[in-house]
Structure 1
Amino acid sequence: MSEKFEIRREVVVPGTPEQIWAAISAETAGWMFPSPLEIPADGSSPDSPIIATWEPPRELAIHMQGPDGWFNNLEYVVEARDESTAVVRYVHAGVFAEDWDNQYDGASKHTDFYLHSLGQYVRYFAGKPVTYVSAEGPESSSSPQAMGTLRSALGITSGTAVGDATSVEVPGIGTVDAIVDYINDWFIGLRTEDALLRFYGRNAFGGTVDAAHHLFAEGADGGSATTAWQAWLDGVFA
């Protein structure tokens, strides 16, 4: 039996409403994942039936409908707080068909991580061309101990905190020097000079430990980066 859910957040993001609007509308690959929307070059509303509200730079609403009462709605309201920050009010509402508690828990925790990554993107990389790469962990990364294994591979210990430095060797890429910008039991975020590296402990929600990275280096090769990070992730959980 399907059941409705709603997730609400209010966060302060370092940036102008215009920068944040660009991030949530056209630049989602820089902090979350690529959007299926094709945004016109002039910034006008996409020709898409799922756009419910398009009021730059203040309000964006995406409403998706399906059979049997299914829906998935995303809404953002952006308000300037001062000259360098803005408040983002976010609502995600929809329907889970089964395993409601686990799906809600996972969606809620993912929301916090994505909104944090939004802030990191706007602060450090706003407007830069991005190459998005992702890799799924092997079945062995679905175990309860998998995030501990990942932390060790990333050089993260029980005493590591946000702001600490770490480094990891990735064959095919080399030494990756990074700052820890997010860490809890479910997610790890690393920031380098030209990337946001994101690791998702979806083993806690019935999945695997996955990676999705946002590369801002000029000329980044998405194919080789995907191959390298996939091999690294497979090796960590071999």
Structure 2
Amino acid sequence: MGKEFEIVREYEVAATPAQVWDAVTTGSGAWLWPMEFEPRLGGVVAGIGVITAWDPPHRLTSRAEDPNGLQGRPQTLNQVDHLIEPREGGRAAWVRYVHSGIFTDNWDDQYDGAGRHTDFYLHTLRQYLLHFTGLPAVHSDVQGPEASTKRGSFAEVGRALGVGGATVGDTVRVDLPGTGPVDAVLDYSDGHFLGLRTGDAMYRFFGRDAWGAPVGLALHRFATDAASSQEQARQAWQSWLDGLYA
């Protein structure tokens, strides 16, 4: 038996509504993952659903439903709505984000995981708008081995990076696989997720072991040579994750 859910977040960001709209709809993987938007009412968002509201740069809604489950997930309805409004002067935007739908299994875990992921993703969006606005990204997704699904595994990531004693906002010296030692800002850390930001990249670490899935990470790289070194970077981080849980 399915049960409805709704996750609502509101936030202000120092970006124009057009910049927020572009960040959400460009789909290069600058803050989330790469996706293609068919820019019209009734258009398709690859892997997400059908666009049911398209009013640039103010309203965007997508919806997907399948009684048999969405892409193998215990979810039969998924809707994501962005309402974007200008603040006075137009130099900032207020955003109301609503994620709703129906979960069919393990409702409490699904809801908890979705809410925590929402907070991390929207934080990454704001980081992008503050530090990399308008820049295309090269996105890579890396998943840890089966051993990383064990609850509590995510703590190894912070220890391996050497950021265990740092607090959000601190600049830390980290040795990044495939890159070497760099200074990075610890921009997010809540025990389940961890975010590092350098001058040309954002590194997002996901403790999905809390919900029975592998620890993973996403690379959002903005350097001019990011595309040519994408596979090298992905392999370096894959080896790092695999070695962490060997």
| TM exceeding 0.5 | yes
Report the counterpart of residue 177 of structure 1 in structure 2.
Answer: 183
Return the alpha-carbon distance in structure 2 between the equivalents of residues 122 and 162 of structure 1: 18
Report the counterpart of residue 232 of structure 2 in structure 1.
Answer: 224
**Secondary structure of residue in 2 paired with 1:4:** strand
Letter in 2 for 1:223: E
Letter in 1 for 2:2: S
Report the counterpart of residue 147 of structure 1 in structure 2.
Answer: 154
Report the counterpart of residue 143 of structure 2 in structure 1.
Answer: 136
TM-fit CA distance, 1:34 = 1.2
User: In the alignment, is residue 167 of structure 1 matched against residue 173 of structure 2?
Assistant: yes
**Aligned residues with identical type, % of pairs:** 43
User: In the alignment, is residue 103 of structure 1 matched against residue 110 of structure 2?
Assistant: yes
TM-fit CA distance, 1:28 = 5.7
Alignment of 1:1-238 (within 5 A): 1-27=1-27, 29-39=29-39, 47-48=43-44, 50-67=50-67, 70-82=76-88, 83-157=90-164, 159-220=165-226, 221-238=229-246
**Secondary structure of residue in 1 paired with 2:23:** helix
Change (3 A) 1:56 1:156: same
Moved more, 134-143 or 209-218: 134-143
TM-fit CA distance, 1:228 = 0.9
Contact 1:51 1:61 in 2 (8 A): yes
Question: Runs of 4+ in structure 1 displaced over 3 angstroms?
Answer: 44-47
Contact 2:201 2:220 in 1 (8 A): yes
**Secondary structure of residue in 2 paired with 1:30:** coil
TM-fit CA distance, 1:79 = 0.9
CA distances 1:85-121 after superposition (whole Å, capped 9, x unpaired): 2111000111112011001000000000011001000
CA distances 1:212-237 after superposition (whole Å, capped 9, x unpaired): 11000112122111111111111222
Change (3 A) 1:200 1:68: closer
Return the alpha-carbon distance in structure 1 between the equivalents of residues 152 and 77 of structure 2: 35
Contact 1:8 1:90 in 2 (8 A): yes
Letter in 2 for 1:182: Y
Return the alpha-carbon distance in structure 1 between the equivalents of residues 207 and 235 of structure 2: 20
Return the alpha-carbon distance in structure 2 between the equivalents of residues 27 and 144 of structure 1: 32
TM-fit CA distance, 1:66 = 1.7
Return the alpha-carbon distance in structure 1 between the equivalents of residues 142 and 202 of structure 2: 14
- Unmatched segments (≥5 aa) in structure 1: none
Contact 1:28 1:35 in 2 (8 A): yes
- Unmatched segments (≥5 aa) in structure 2: 70-75
- RMSD over aligned Cα, in angstroms? 1.8
**Secondary structure of residue in 1 paired with 2:235:** helix
TM-fit CA distance, 1:144 = 2.7
**Secondary structure of residue in 2 paired with 1:172:** coil
* TM-score normalised by the chain length of structure 2: 0.88
**Secondary structure of residue in 1 paired with 2:29:** helix
TM-fit CA distance, 1:19 = 0.4
Change (3 A) 1:212 1:20: same
Letter in 1 for 2:154: M
TM-fit CA distance, 1:81 = 1.9
TM-fit CA distance, 1:126 = 1.3
Contact 2:28 2:136 in 1 (8 A): no
TM-fit CA distance, 1:63 = 1.1
